[in-house]
Amino acid sequence: MRLVRYGRPGKEKPGLIDDEGKLRDLSGVIGDVDAAALAPKSLRKLEKIAQSSLPLVRGNPRFGVPVARVSKFICIGLNYSDHAAEAGMAAPKEPIVFLKAISALSGPDDAVMMPQGAKKMDWEVELGIVIGSRAQYVSEADAHKYVAGYTVVNDVSERAYQLERGGQWTKGKSFDTFGPVGPWLVTAEDIYDVQDLDLYLDVNGKRMQTGNTSTMIFSVAQIVSYLSKLMTLEPGDVIATGTPPGVGMGRKPQRFLKKGDVMRLGIAGLGEQQQEVVAWSAKR
């Protein structure tokens, strides 16, 4: 099942993409794709609904973040061994954990704004985990029971702020629009093997990143279990699980984003995003 939120920013409605690829409205069934809707019992009820009974949505509305009222946006760094190598960093022995501000969240095709003074904006296609049940001290064996589904995340970064200005990585990760998520949330039971998904990212039509989740250093189960021992994971929390090689910082010569660049990225079975880099604006 592919759950979406569609409409103008701040006015999104819940929906789903049916088996024919058509958008259908869920607002008569649930209030939003939120913590209540992501509970295992709620998802089972949604799965039983006859898709043809739901109203079709005409046109091509904007898609927003597929989860409403995200409480935490958690990221895992250097989680692909070949990406750690291109960054000139040792593969971590434990997951590297940092946070992106919730205000960085944006729709999958919304423009990405270039912050004032940005010099080294970079791209990172990542598998996103969406938590469905409250998780505290869960085992790796049980970790998948706490996952509602998966999505695509672009962990947009400003490397100078992240790596050259001291402190934590969060400062280079949290600018407005630096967290495109979507286009939809695919429920966990519809993904045959989350540790065997192809990822890709293009900039201006040129392939920059190619990878597969099979080369993650820490698996989805390991990440969920590990984080649940550091903090309570709540329904709707989004976890970005790291990026494969091919980021701009790791290229020779380095290549960073500039105004007018277009990123296109996706993950097999989870859909595709596209964003244009635009000048910073206070209006969103």
Residuewise pLDDT in 10s, the chain (284 residues): 999 999 999 999 999 999 999 999 999 999 999 999 999 999 999 999 999 999 999 999 999 999 999 999 999 999 998 777 777 778 899 999 999 999 999 999 999 999 999 999 999 999 999 999 999 999 999 999 999 999 999 999 999 999 888 888 899 999 999 999 999 999 999 999 999 999 999 999 999 999 999 999 999 999 999 999 999 999 999 999 999 999 999 999 999 999 999 999 999 999 999 999 999 988 66
| Other CB atoms within 10 Å distance of the CB of residue 152 | 27
Closest CA to 82 of 269, 213, 223: 213
Dihedral over Cα of 253, 258, 261, 264: its sign: positive
> Which 3 state secondary structure label does DSSP give 214?
helix
The pLDDT value recorded for residue 81 is: 81
- Strand partners of residue 265: 201, 273
Beta carbons within 10 angstroms of residue 160's beta carbon: 15
Among the four given CATH numbers 3.30.565.10, 3.90.850.10, 3.60.10.10, 3.40.50.300, the one describing domain 66-279: 3.90.850.10
* Full DSSP string of 48-109: HS-GGGSPBPPS-PPB--SSSS---EEEEES-BHHHHHHTT-PPPSS-EEEE--GGGEE-TT
pTM, two decimals, is 0.96
- 281 Cβ contact list (under 8 Å, min separation 6): 113
8 A C-beta contact, residue 65 and residue 181: yes
179-180 and 105-106 strand pairing: parallel
Torsion region of 124: left, alpha or beta (phi above 0 gives left; psi -120 to 50 gives alpha): beta
Residue 21 CB neighbour total at 10 angstroms:
7
User: HSE (CB half, 13 Å, CA atoms) of 185?
Assistant: 30
pLDDT tens-digit map of 182-197:
999 999 999 999 999 9
Beta strand segments in 215-270, E: 238-240, 262-267
How far from each other are the two terminal CA atoms of the chain, in whole angstroms? Answer: 30
Q: Which pLDDT belongs to residue 124?
A: 98
Residues composing the chain: 284
Instruction: Write down the domain spans for the chain.
Output: 66-279
* Residues sharing a CB contact under 8 Å with residue 20, sequence separation 6 or more, in sequence order: none
